Amino acid sequence: MSETIIRPEIPSEGFSPKNLTGISDLSDTELIYLLDLAQYYGHLTRYGHDIPQRLATRTQVNLFLENSTRTNVSFELAGKKLGANILVLPVAASSVHKGEALRDTCQTLAAMGADAMIVRNVEHGTSAFVADALDEVSLPCCVINAGEGTQSHPTQALLDAVTMLDSLGRQAKDGLSDITIAICGDVRHSRVAGSNIELLRRLGAHVRCVGPQEFMPEGSNYQHIEQFTDLRQGLADCQFVMGLRIQLERMDDGPAMSAPDFYNTYGLTHETLKYAASGAKVMHPGPMNRGVEIDGRLADDRRHSLVLDQVANGVTTRMAVLDALLTEQD
């Protein structure tokens, strides 16, 4: 007999966000609800239950103004699993490529009947700009940030939190208050790091940044975050270690440290993982540069690596986001 899986109840005050442009769009109760809903869809998938077609009458547009594989595909799969009609519109095939203003493109797509617009761009603030453009003309289309600039990738942070909770056998309400997490590598240029630091701290986790000084983050959002330039010290007592690639496309100049030197000093391997707490797990949002920020043998070792769990949770977490934004407003 299959296990009964109960959908989490919506918060008593409801689910108010019309868009997800950043983690700050969510109240604490809404954040917990989204994480619960992501775990719910994860359980349905793992146990082979039928997925409710909650978006059967909806249309989802993936508007990716920057190249992406994992995020684009996982949003497409998430929408399809929930029954939505999907339109994937890479920038090369859009009128933006011909010089049309982004505002006009988004308003046109929403006027055609898009219910959700998944937006990715190199410039920070793009998703909020699109949301404002649609609100100006009263077009009821939710906007989801699929990664922008060097600061924000909210759905990646949500799926990473779900992955950690699952690994610990916890629910979102249990939080991460006794957990220490090291984010290693090019934190300064990483949108993943920006959203993860914000979200994980809200769950009570102690978050550290580890890497060369040139990759350490700056600004008020990071002033309470411990920073380590020594890998052994930075990983000490950590239950989770997240590797980040060097974000060459977001740098004006190349890094001061060569790839071999970076690997020798900061590379995550079976040996360097021993600096962390016993039983520590390694994570990576991808794409991975094997032999630079992480040894491929460690990334592939399911005893220590949660990389593929992150990939799987990417679909189910984005299912939760789409579901909450498109159905809980009705």
Domain extents for the chain? 23-152+312-327, 155-310
pTM for the model stands at 0.95
Please report the sign of the dihedral spanned by the C-alpha atoms of residue 156, residue 182, residue 151, residue 246. negative
The architecture (CATH level 2) of 155-310 comes to 3-Layer(aba) Sandwich (3.40)
Strand partners of residue 3: none
Tokens 């700050």 label which residue?
24
Q: What is the pLDDT along the chain (330 residues), one digit of tens a residue?
A: 467 899 999 999 999 999 999 999 999 999 999 999 999 999 999 999 999 999 999 999 999 988 888 999 999 999 999 999 999 987 655 556 545 688 999 999 999 999 999 999 989 999 999 999 999 999 999 999 999 998 899 999 999 999 999 999 999 999 999 999 999 999 999 999 999 999 999 999 999 999 999 999 887 778 789 999 999 999 999 999 999 998 766 545 666 688 999 999 999 999 999 999 999 999 999 999 999 999 999 999 999 999 999 999 999 999 999 999 999 865
CA angle 271, 272, 277 (to 5 degrees): 105
- The domain 23-152+312-327 having CATH identifier 3.40.50.1370: the answer here is yes
As given in the structure block, the two tokens for residue 190 are 């990483």
| pLDDT tens, residue by residue, 238-280 | 999 999 998 766 545 666 688 999 999 999 999 999 999 999 9
- Give the span between the Cα atoms of 92 and 67, in whole angstroms: 10
CA distances from 34 to 50, 89, 154, 161, 288 (A): 20, 26, 12, 11, 27
Residues 6 or more apart whose Cβ sits within 8 Å of residue 61? 87, 88, 89, 109, 114, 116, 117, 118
Residues 6 or more apart whose Cβ sits within 8 Å of residue 194? 150, 151, 152, 153, 217, 221
First-last CA distance in the chain: 34
23-152+312-327 against 155-310: fold identical: yes
